[in-house]
Structure 1
Amino acid sequence: MQTTSLLVRKRIAALFFLFTVGFFMLVGRIFWVQFVKGADLSAKATQNRMRDVPVESKRGVIYDRNHRELAISISTDSVYAIPAEVLRSNRQEEIAKKLAATLEMDQDKIYARITRRSSFEWVKRQIDPATAQKIRAMDLPGIDLTEESRRFYPKGTLASHVLGISGTDNTGLEGIDNYYNKLVGGTKGRIIIEHDATGADIPEAMHKYIPPVDGANLILSLDETIQYITERELDKAFKERQAARAAAIVMDPKTGEILAITSRPTFDPNHYNDSPAQNRRNFAINDAFEPGSTMKITTAAMAMEENIVNEQSRFYCPGHIKVGKETISCAGGKAHGEQTFAQIVEKSCNVGFVQLGLELGIDKYYQYLNAFGFGRATGIDLPGEAQGITVPKSRCKQIDLATMAFGQANAVTPIQLVTAVSAVANGGNLMKPHLVKEIVDSQGKIVQKFEPEVVRRVISEKTARDLCVILEGEVTLGTGKNAFIEGYRVGGKTGTAQKIKPGGGYMANEYVSSFIGLAPSDNPRLVCLIVVDAPKGYPYYGGTVAAPAAREILKDALHYLDEPLRTDPNKAASEAKPDNAVLVPDLVNLPLNEALASLNRRGLNAKVEGSGDLVWQQTPRAQSKLNKGSQVIIYLSPFSKDKEGGEVTVPDLQGKSLKEVAKILADLGLHLSPEGYGLSCDQSPRPGKVVSSGSNIKVKFQPIDR
């Protein structure tokens, strides 16, 4: 009996123990699920029942310094699928077939995408409006469209290497769009919809919209008109000489602002895949070249600053000079004979500059080489800037010093060279080059303003001023005569350098031709560099290939900036040569034939962009000064007065009176909403935007300053 009772108690104890173990295991599991993994499992559950549709933000607008649009974002539709809804309809094959035919895509790929085990799938992004309308009309289950934005460049190839390109995911891939991507790109939004296990929307359930934050706008230092002038002249030199590549930069030496920068070959960022990838390489900042005689400007500045020479110091050139075992000759072995320091600059005498370099010595030469910024990036706000190549000081020999003094051995980037010469033009300060003046948010508030930044003082004001006078002699008397502009004082230096062979040494028949100029030389407002790589034909010298392009750029840019002509004080005003400049007529809202006739009457040429019937914008603006024979770009918009309810391109109304604006808009079938009085200063929508006929255009007017 006792044995039976003991057995029962043991069984009860065992059951109790097992129950206790199970209870604590259950409590432990509950604790693990609820407290340790609770947040993670809750998030997964939410993810399973939430449908998340992304809403892209609009990239900020990129303007030139005068608020002319260079890159904008336009709305476009993208097709997406909700696979759960597609599968629930049991029409997945039919849907894939219809989408493939409309979107011109592979049916199997679409089928795989729309039946994938995910809550959201892109089918095709950024489709044209006509295709979007067809997709909407099909009303396919699980297939919908969402609005995205894509980059549009209204000026085509203009400043393409600066602006860069953007991808379909609203990300800047190259250029300034890439450099300031976080600011310009904005923040994505989302549409969140709760649905049940079958994929159907739950009535009265959570529907949340998180709006996107549009990107900030960039106001560049570029001037659209100077950029156009620069590209026009570089195109001529590049095409006429069938060069391998070319670059041009125009800088304000006092501020470091880049007013124009371009490279050739070029591309259209609206259709960048139509051009080879190497066309997008920005020679002006991405690549280095041996500068040749343009580097003599910095060698001259070093020698003058160290009081080794002055304008009247005497030199003798027998046509060659021996350095160690090597013999260095002037171009063609020409002997220049007795000459002053100013004359060795004018005649670009290698022998004279070798003497200067050797007298400076390795330590002093490298001190100034570093001070001028060679061998390191300038910090310009573009991606991919090269540092250039300098001979390491530890390995530098006398022959290296001699060749560096007249522009060989070291390789520089165009942006480094123009920045260094700008230090001579502005009185001795090395400025940091920059492309952005202001960053403005989508509400118009200034986020950041970029002021001129002095990196360091390199030479004294006296040295800089005296050297500018000597460089003026290079243009009036020396190898840079083709850069002479009547009525303006221009200084500069030509350069012709043999190209380096890939395995070392120099090519026999390939050169880099260049010219760097500053104007007006008594108070420089502009520094202009032209570099043409491997020009075909003879002569290939910088004075014949690059100097003429620089002359035209400086001449038209100075006219555009209203820089007064320098007249000879010994001549009476009546004897002075009349100005060849004419005022650009107002072409906005004129039919193409009338616009062309108006330009012809003033001796101006036209470059027509776009297709259509009316001019909606012009570059440069009306009342700008250009020399006869210069080119004006006119942008066309399709418009027919007989077509009701059509689309119209909003014209550029800036600087026009209320009466003029009212007539222009009335002719286009648009309504005016005026604010203020005087001349128009702002408008909404911006010029170039396509709107429906009958839309309201808000225009602000302000009084004329007296």
Structure 2
Amino acid sequence: MNGPIIGITYLVAFLVIGLIAYILHFMIVEKDEVIANAANTRLDSYAADVNRGDIVTKDGKTVATNKNGKRYYPYDNLFAHAVGYSDYTKAGVELVGNYYLMDSHANLLERAVNTLREEQNEGDTVVTTLNYELQQTAYDALGGADGAVVMMEPDTGRILAMVSKPDFDPNDIDTVWQEANAEGSTSSVLLNRATQGLYPPGSTFKVLTALTYMRQYPRKYEKYSYNCSQTEAIFNSVSVHCYGRKTHGQQDLSEALANSCNQAFADIGTQLNVNKWKDTLESFLFNQSLPYMDASATSRFTLDGKSDKGYIPQTAFGQGDTLITPLHNAMIVSTIANGGLMMKPYLIDSVENYKGKRVKKFSPSSYDTLMTSDEVDTLTGYMRKVVTQGTAADYFAGASYEAAGKTGTAEYANGEHDFSWFIGFTSVDHPEVAVSIVVEESDVNGVKATAIARKLFDTYYSISE
């Protein structure tokens, strides 16, 4: 009779201990993360007690504050998508940093006095990873063109600049919101193209195709050769030509990447095991959510072993149905720059109380090791050749630093217009910054992604001196 009672007693005790352990774990480890989750709408109830804190750049520029009882953005459009807005709904740092902006670490006496006076406490200040000069350079370089720019540190994941166009003035969010949400509106100004814009990757995708080929043919890829001698060639019953209908002659794998030879990569695509190809891409987060706190779209790779083989040639050089966000492309090129280790991108560096005392510091966090050191060294050498001898050579002539990268031109609207792409990084032996840039209708506006990259890299080194 006592046996069952003792058993039940032990079970209840075990459950109680487990519950206490979970509560302690939540309070010590997970509390801030759960409360700070952007989906937690109860945070807005803090507004009665706390005056929303400021948002500043890493180099000390105040990019969001309060003025005359309203949220005020001193730099108008410049940080529109990265910093975001806080009315109607929230976006950008205003969203992911909402908890910290509505919390207050003013001293206890001050908070007690404010409570007695029924006055608001000053919210904490969110210090972003953004750099004002790099943001201004990216914004100016993109000019009137639509597109996106992401610049980040490959070894930390810190985002130094993030620009999306078309943009808007968050100080005029009432008008912007009404126009964007009006019946029949086609406005996309509120869309952060850097994180949510899905684009065909163009020839930047050849980096991953090359990696896949290296893995599937480890003893063969160094001897790869293709003779690009005709303006068009047929692969799996599909006609393929290189950009501008150029012919490149005999190409090894490094030359095919440097010269962006579509025919060579179409040839490579026909040799790949498509299911293993998909596995490689999904390890790089295609068809999966990115480890990023703000809203981001999911990049897509749709081929598998059952797909029509006619889709393979164009997919191999970045056309077809493959889509990617600029942020995702920045993470991929940063992984190569960082020795194969992918870092999680982030926008908030630290939190301070309104008097400038630090109360929280965010540290870099890794996602996973996705490449071997040999793969990194090989691809870095190939991408270095793009900049020294290939399609990006003219843009980086005379640079005071070493760079590696990949250009891309993605056709859309039935080939009537082009997206211009560039992904790359600097200081090849010890990479310091990486970029991912896309420009829409580059054939019309004349803005080239590689030219933007050069300006950004130049600015980075000018302010680092």
Report the TM range for the smaller structure's normalisation.
Answer: 0.7 to 0.9
Q: Show CA shifts across 1:407-450 (max 9, x none).
A: 12201111111111111111111211111122334575655432
Instruction: Find the counterpart in structure 1 of residue 60 from structure 2.
Output: 67
Tell me the distance in 1 between the aligned counterparts of 2:357 and 2:116: 29
Q: Which amino acid aligns with 1:463?
A: E
Matched, 1:399 2:310: yes
1:159 to 1:72, Cα distance in 2 relative to 1, 3 A: same
1:8-23 mapped onto 2 (5 Å cutoff): none
CA contact (8 A) 1:303 1:309 kept: no
Matched, 1:161 2:81: yes
1:345 to 1:253, Cα distance in 2 relative to 1, 3 A: same
CA contact (8 A) 2:235 2:267 kept: no
Tell me the distance in 1 between the aligned counterparts of 2:49 and 2:315: 52
Q: Show CA shifts across 1:114-164 (max 9, x none).
A: xxxxxxxxxxxxxxxxxxxxxxxxxxxxxxxxxxx4222222222111111
Tell me the distance in 2 between the aligned counterparts of 1:69 and 1:258: 17
Tell me the distance in 1 between the aligned counterparts of 2:79 and 2:273: 42
Q: Secondary structure at the match of 1:456?
A: strand
Instruction: Find the counterpart in structure 1 of residue 28 from structure 2.
Output: none
Q: By how many angstroms is 1:468 displaced?
A: 1.6
1:290 to 1:309, Cα distance in 2 relative to 1, 3 A: farther
Q: Secondary structure at the match of 1:559?
A: helix
Q: Secondary structure at the match of 2:439?
A: strand
Which of 438, 442, 453 aligns to 1:535? It is: 442
Tell me the distance in 2 between the aligned counterparts of 1:267 and 1:221: 21
Q: Secondary structure at the match of 2:271?
A: helix
More helix by share: 2
Q: Show CA shifts across 1:88-107 (max 9, x none).
A: xxxxxxxxxxxxxxxxxxxx
Which of 385, 408, 415 aligns to 1:495? It is: 408
1:251 to 1:308, Cα distance in 2 relative to 1, 3 A: farther
Tell me the distance in 2 between the aligned counterparts of 1:308 and 1:209: 76
Tell me the distance in 2 between the aligned counterparts of 1:448 and 1:308: 50
Matched, 1:526 2:436: no
Which of 441, 455, 464 aligns to 1:552? It is: 455
Q: Secondary structure at the match of 2:50?
A: coil
Q: Which amino acid aligns with 2:298?
A: Q
Q: Show CA shifts across 1:456-499 (max 9, x none).
A: 11111222122222212112211112431422212111111111
Instruction: Find the counterpart in structure 2 of residue 361 from structure 1.
Output: 273
Matched, 1:512 2:419: yes
Q: Secondary structure at the match of 2:199?
A: coil
TM-score by length of 1: 0.52
Q: By how many angstroms is 1:56 displaced?
A: 5.3
CA contact (8 A) 1:309 1:341 kept: no
Which of 292, 305, 310 aligns to 2:202? It is: 292
Tell me the distance in 1 between the aligned counterparts of 2:416 and 2:242: 17
Q: Secondary structure at the match of 2:51?
A: coil
Tell me the distance in 2 between the aligned counterparts of 1:324 and 1:225: 49
Instruction: Find the counterpart in structure 1 of residue 94 from structure 2.
Output: 177
1:22-37 mapped onto 2 (5 Å cutoff): none
Tell me the distance in 1 between the aligned counterparts of 2:194 and 2:430: 25
Q: By how many angstroms is 1:388 displaced?
A: 2.4
Identity %: 28
Q: Where in structure 2 are there 5+ consecutive unaligned residues? A: 1-46, 105-114, 181-187
Instruction: Find the counterpart in structure 2 of residue 88 from structure 1.
Output: none
TM-score by length of 2: 0.78
Q: Secondary structure at the match of 1:348?
A: coil
Tell me the distance in 1 between the aligned counterparts of 2:345 and 2:437: 17
Which of 143, 149, 157 aligns to 1:256? It is: 157
1:467 to 1:182, Cα distance in 2 relative to 1, 3 A: same
Tell me the distance in 2 between the aligned counterparts of 1:472 and 1:329: 24
CA contact (8 A) 1:469 1:521 kept: no
Q: Which amino acid aligns with 1:393?
A: D
Moved more, 342-351 or 544-553: 544-553
Please provide the CA RMSD for this pair. 2.6
Q: By how many angstroms is 1:311 displaced?
A: 5.2
Q: By how many angstroms is 1:257 displaced?
A: 0.9
Q: Which amino acid aligns with 1:496?
A: T
1:458 to 1:55, Cα distance in 2 relative to 1, 3 A: closer
Q: Show CA shifts across 1:518-540 (max 9, x none).
A: 112332211122211123548x6
CA contact (8 A) 1:291 1:412 kept: yes
CA contact (8 A) 1:305 1:460 kept: no
Q: Secondary structure at the match of 2:78?
A: coil
Which of 118, 127, 133 aligns to 1:219? It is: 127
Q: By how many angstroms is 1:179 displaced?
A: 2.6
Q: Where in structure 1 are there 5+ consecutive unaligned residues? A: 1-53, 77-148, 188-206, 502-506, 563-706
